[in-house]
């Protein structure tokens, strides 16, 4: 068979699509150019094409490592349906299938081989692959390699070994988890040098984003729902108890509201889920147990009655609204108590110090989004490393925030970061600004700095918020892979020189997110 290598033609002839989705073509080109890459794309963005297409356009075998047997089966069936020779090696296949795969690999007719990480971990499998013409290794759900990911799988360690045995074969990794700590960890564990990085498809322009500090949950939810009478939606709560209470409150206000949480009978849960899926205008009041694998296109709103667990979780949860592409509304209520609780959970969790550090940074990132001084979408996408202009329809774009000219505050923070050598985290900078002589401050002699005590006019909680805002604005950045040290960015330098005024929010300064201190 004549090798076709025009990607667009393969896209059309084999997969039956008229055009690439955003990001796909560039990734395909990069794969075909032989480069290693890590691509971060949300579920449904179309990752598979990114490695399947190059597999067909070039000689040799592409090995796809995937942890989900059901998913492998679907993909192989779909590929065969399109006339592509593909197979899957995992615990569920029979002897005949295994032989078919072996001969396809021997004769070079098999283009794509899906392998579970358990299989890959077998010395035999690696030896056999080393003797086969493996051209490309594609790693699906690459976050499974990282302990910081939400789905760490020890078997993924076999991938590193396999790559070494395959002489560092070209490797492309895919994940929907965009968390920076996880991302850095994936790079470190899978690659010997940083690969090309692609981030695509996180923008969901039809979702309206809004946040509000919790003041009266009942009133705030009712005001939000008032705009969505007769529509389907989800309200996320942080406890089982809260789902029951809010559901019955909504019932008494005339809504069709059903609770959903892991403590309910399976049959009752299934029933509520079915009602939500099949009928119009049902509000499910749920814990995060609800939503996995639910594909209802016309969910018109998602509200969080309490702060979500992380930006990742937030994104997943609001992502269940507006799958049909039509406008959908979201509201997230957050409060000081949520933040404090989350902080305590982290400190008391029994995690390693390093893991706690990562979790604290995740929490800070989420709080930065709650307190964002500019467009929510911009701030959210910046977290995923995607750039975008202000969206024009989030709460901040429409209503703005109560802000003040925070140029001087920003300069105090930035100069505090600089004078302490751009090595310290927010807590130390706060201590220097308010003039508190902690052990660390004394040990480093930072009580002799010019910035020591220049911020004594504000409470520590206010400075913490201002620092998060300065980071959210891109004036300073956090070393997430290391110890959370702050450094001044190019834009931060411009702000230090007073190039343009810095607007900061004053309405969020009341919220305090203090770290509980040991023994003090």
476-478 and 196-199 strand pairing: unpaired
Nearer to ligand ADP, 8 or 157 (CB): 8
Tell which one of 14, 49, 129, 242 touches ligand ADP (CB under 6 A): 49
Token digits of residue 55: 């597999």
Distance between CA atoms of residues 236 and 243, nearest Å? 8
Nearest to ligand ADP of 138, 181 (CB atom): 138
Tell me how far, at minimum, the Cβ of 28 lies from ligand ADP, in Å.
Answer: 10
48 binds ligand ADP (CB under 6 A): yes
User: Per CB under 6 A, does 123 bind ligand ADP?
Assistant: no
Given the complex with ligand ADP, which of 17 and 128 has the nearer CB atom? 17
200 binds ligand ADP, rule: CB under 6 A: no
Q: Which stretch binds ligand ADP (CB under 6 A): 19-27, 297-305, 373-381, 479-487?
A: 19-27
For residues 326-351, one letter each, b for 16 or more C-beta atoms within 10 angstroms of the residue's C-beta and e for the rest, the string is eebbbbbbbbeebbeebbeebeeeee
User: How would you classify residue 290: left for phi > 0, otherwise alpha for psi between -120 and 50, otherwise beta?
Assistant: beta
Smallest distance from the beta carbon of 210 to Zn ion, in angstroms? 10
What are the φ/ψ torsions at residue 136 (nearest 5 degrees)? -150, 140
What is 458-488 written as a DSSP string? S-HHHHHHHHHHHHHTTSEEE-TTTT--EEE
Residue 432 contact, options ligand ADP, Zn ion, none, Cβ 5-8 Å cut-off depending on partner type: none
Taking CB under 6 A as the binding criterion, the range among 39-47, 125-133, 149-157, 232-240 that sits at the site for ligand ADP is 39-47
Roughly what angle, to the nearest 10 degrees, separates helices 47-57 and 24-32? 40
Residues 317 and 234: their CA atoms lie apart, in Å, by: 9
Name the one residue in this structure whose structure tokens are 């750039």: 387
Nearest-approach distance from CB 362 to ligand ADP, in angstroms: 23
From the list ligand ADP, Zn ion, none, which binds 433 (C-beta under 5 to 8 Å, kind-based)?
A: none
The window from 43-51, 178-186, 250-258, 483-491 that contacts ligand ADP (CB under 6 A) reads 43-51
Note whether 372 binds Zn ion by CB under 5 A.
Answer: no
- Indicate the residue among 269 and 377 with the shorter CB distance to Zn ion: 377
**434 near ligand ADP, rule: CB under 6 A:** no
Minimum separation from the CB atom of position 334 to Zn ion (A): 18
**Is 91 among the residues that bind ligand ADP (CB under 6 A)?**
no
Nearer of residues 150 and 240 to ligand ADP, judged by Cβ: 150
Nearest residue (CB) to Zn ion, 111 versus 377: 377
Q: Are 227 and 303 in contact (CB under 8 A)?
A: no
Strand 328-334 versus strand 207-208 pairing type:
parallel
Partner touching 394 among ligand ADP, Zn ion, none, CB below 5 to 8 Å by kind: Zn ion
The single residue among 8, 17, 335, 418 that binds ligand ADP, judged by CB under 6 A, is: 17
H helix intervals, 147-289 = 157-165, 180-190, 217-226, 240-252, 266-278
| CA 9 to mean position of chain CA atoms | 33
- Picking from 378, 369, 410, the residue whose alpha carbon sits closest to that of residue 397 is 378
Taking the least distance from each CB to Zn ion, the nearer of 116 and 379 is 379
515: which DSSP letter?
P
Q: Which residue has the tokens 């779909």?
A: 78
Q: Which of 93, 394, 413, 414 binds Zn ion (CB under 5 A)?
A: 394
The option from ligand ADP, Zn ion, none interacting with 45 (CB < 5 to 8 A, set by class) reads ligand ADP
Query: Residues with Cβ < 8 Å from 438, sequence gap 6 or more?
Result: 428, 431
Q: Which helix (H) or strand (E) holds 29?
A: helix 24-32
Of 165, 172, 167, nearest to 186 by C-alpha is 172
- What stretches of 41-179 adopt beta strand conformation (E)? 61-65, 86-89, 112-115, 134-139, 170-175
Joined together, the tokens standing for residue 166 give 């395959």
Q: Does 391 bind Zn ion (CB under 5 A)?
A: yes
Inter-residue contact 38 to 179 (CB < 8 Å)? no
CB 318, min distance to ligand ADP, A: 17
369 is a contact residue toward Zn ion (CB under 5 A): no
Among Zn ion, ligand ADP, none, residue 47 binds (CB under 5-8 Å by kind): ligand ADP
297 touches ligand ADP by CB under 6 A = no
Tell me the window of 38-46, 287-295, 334-342, 432-440 that interacts with ligand ADP (CB under 6 A): 38-46
Report the DSSP pairing between strands 196-199 and 37-40: parallel
Residue among 20, 51, 224, 463 that touches ligand ADP (CB under 6 A):
20
Cα 140 from chain centroid? 16
Phi, psi of 514 (to 5 degrees): -85, 145
Cα separation of 301 and 322, whole Å?
8
Q: Does position 73 bind ligand ADP by CB under 6 A?
A: no
Q: Is 76 in the site for ligand ADP (CB under 6 A)?
A: no
Q: Is 81 in the site for ligand ADP (CB under 6 A)?
A: no
State in Å, rounded, how far the first CA of the chain is from the last one.
74
Choice between 203 and 244, CB closer to ligand ADP: 203
Contact between 88 and ligand ADP (CB under 6 A)? no
In this structure, the dihedral spanned by the alpha carbons of residues 333, 460, 428 and 457, taken in order and rounded to 10 degrees, is 140
Q: How far is the CB of 177 from ligand ADP (least distance, A)?
A: 12
User: Is residue 381 near Zn ion by the rule CB under 5 A?
Assistant: no
Q: Does 41 bind ligand ADP (CB under 6 A)?
A: yes
143 binds ligand ADP (CB under 6 A): no
In the complex, the smallest distance separating the C-beta of residue 332 from ligand ADP, rounded to whole angstroms, is: 25
Note the residues at the interface with ligand ADP (CB under 6 A): 17, 20-21, 24, 41, 43-49
In the complex, the residues that contact Zn ion under the rule CB under 5 A are 375, 377, 390-391, 394, 397
């Amino acid at each position: 068979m004549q090798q076709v290598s025009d990607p667009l033609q393969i896209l059309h002839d084999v997969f039956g699509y008229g055009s690439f989705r955003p990001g796909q073509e560039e990734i395909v080109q990069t794969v075909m150019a032989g480069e290693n890459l890590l691509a971060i794309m949300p579920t449904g963005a179309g990752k598979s094409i990114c490695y399947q297409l190059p597999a067909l356009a070039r000689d040799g075998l592409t090995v796809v490592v995937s942890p989900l047997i059901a998913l492998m089966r679907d993909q192989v069936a779909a590929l065969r349906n399109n006339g592509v020779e593909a197979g899957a090696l995992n615990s569920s296949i029979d002897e005949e299938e295994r032989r078919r795969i072996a001969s396809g690999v021997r004769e070079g007719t098999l283009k794509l081989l899906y392998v579970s990480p358990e299989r890959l971990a077998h010395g035999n499998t690696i030896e056999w692959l080393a003797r086969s013409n493996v051209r490309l290794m594609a790693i699906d759900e690459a976050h499974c390699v990282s302990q910081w990911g939400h789905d760490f799988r020890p078997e993924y360690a076999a991938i590193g070994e396999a790559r070494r045995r395959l002489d560092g074969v070209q490797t492309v990794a895919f994940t929907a988890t965009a968390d920076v700590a996880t991302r850095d960890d994936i790079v470190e564990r899978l690659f010997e040098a940083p690969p090309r990085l692609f981030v695509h498809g996180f923008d969901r322009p039809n979702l309206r984003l809004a946040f509000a500090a919790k003041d009266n949950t009942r009133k705030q939810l009712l005001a939000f729902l008032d705009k969505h009478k007769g529509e389907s939606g989800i309200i996320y709560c942080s406890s089982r108890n809260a789902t029951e209470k809010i559901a019955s409150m909504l019932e008494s206000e005339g809504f069709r509201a059903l609770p959903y949480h892991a403590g309910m009978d399976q049959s009752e849960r299934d029933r509520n889920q079915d009602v939500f899926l099949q009928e119009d205008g049902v509000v499910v009041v749920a814990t995060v147990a609800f939503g996995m694998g639910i594909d209802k296109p016309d969910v018109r709103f998602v509200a969080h009655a309490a702060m979500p667990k992380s930006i990742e979780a937030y994104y997943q949860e609001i992502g269940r609204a507006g799958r049909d592409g039509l406008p959908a509304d979201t509201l997230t209520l957050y409060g000081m108590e949520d933040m404090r609780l989350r902080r305590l959970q982290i400190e008391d969790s029994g995690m390693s110090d390093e893991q706690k550090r990562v979790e604290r940074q995740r929490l800070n990132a989420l709080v930065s989004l709650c307190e964002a001084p500019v467009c929510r979408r911009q701030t959210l996408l910046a977290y995923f490393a995607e750039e975008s202009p202000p969206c024009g329809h989030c709460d901040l774009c429409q209503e703005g925030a109560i802000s003040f000219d925070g140029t001087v505050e920003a300069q105090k923070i930035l100069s505090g970061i600089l004078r302490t050598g751009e090595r310290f985290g927010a807590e130390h900078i706060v201590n220097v600004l308010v003039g508190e002589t902690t052990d660390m401050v004394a040990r480093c002699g930072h009580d002799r700095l010019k910035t020591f005590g220049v911020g004594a006019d504000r409470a520590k909680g206010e400075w913490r918020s201002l620092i998060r805002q300065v980071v959210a604005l891109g004036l300073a950045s956090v070393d997430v892979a290391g110890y959370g040290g702050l450094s001044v960015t190019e834009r931060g330098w411009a702000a230090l020189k007073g190039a343009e005024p810095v607007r900061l929010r004053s309405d969020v300064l009341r919220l305090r997110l203090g770290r509980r201190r040991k023994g003090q």
